[in-house]
Amino acid sequence: MKKTTVINSDLSRVISQMGHFDTLAIGDAGMPVPAETEKIDLAVTKNIPSFMDVLKNVLSELEVQEIILADEIRTVNPQQLTAIQTLIPDIKISFIPHEQMKKDLSTAKAFVRTGEMSSYSNIILVSGVTF
């Protein structure tokens, strides 16, 4: 049995296959996911698991060099933005329109759906290297 913190088999598989500059997205329960993008659905019920719980779990195994957020998070969900910035203060943040983020999901290795019920709780993680 795995000793590390990511024990969901699909999530662990995707993280282990990530290469430099590959992307992995995590989002709220309402984010539309393109048909061609693998969806790892962790949602159980409203707010379980939360966006932040899943993000913390993924960050325990994935080397991230940049994160991408929707512009709209700044005004619609500033509490979530603050939580993200507090969790990963030293990682570059880029902001793009939410519509662009939805399009960019088509090139992500996977989208991890959480039970999060707060708007714009979506992130694209850009994989870094560990050397």
Marked catalytic residue, from 17, 20, 56, 100: 20
Predicted local distance difference test score (pLDDT) of residue 47: 97
Predicted local distance difference test score (pLDDT) of residue 8: 96
Residues with Cβ within 8 Å of 79's Cβ and at least 6 positions away in sequence, in order, are 118
What structural domains and CATH numbers belong to the chain?
9-127 (3.40.1650.10)
Predicted local distance difference test score (pLDDT) of residue 74: 98
Residues with Cβ within 8 Å of 99's Cβ and at least 6 positions away in sequence, in order, are none
Cis peptide before 34 (omega within 30 of 0): no
Is the separation of the CB atoms in 98 and 42 below 8 Å? no
Binding residues for substrate: 28, 98, 120-122
Any catalytic annotation for residue 125?
no
Predicted local distance difference test score (pLDDT) of residue 51: 98
The 3-state DSSP composition of the chain as helix, strand, coil percent (nearest 5) reads 30, 25, 45
Binding residues: 28, 98, 120-122
Low-confidence spans in the chain with pLDDT less than 70 = none
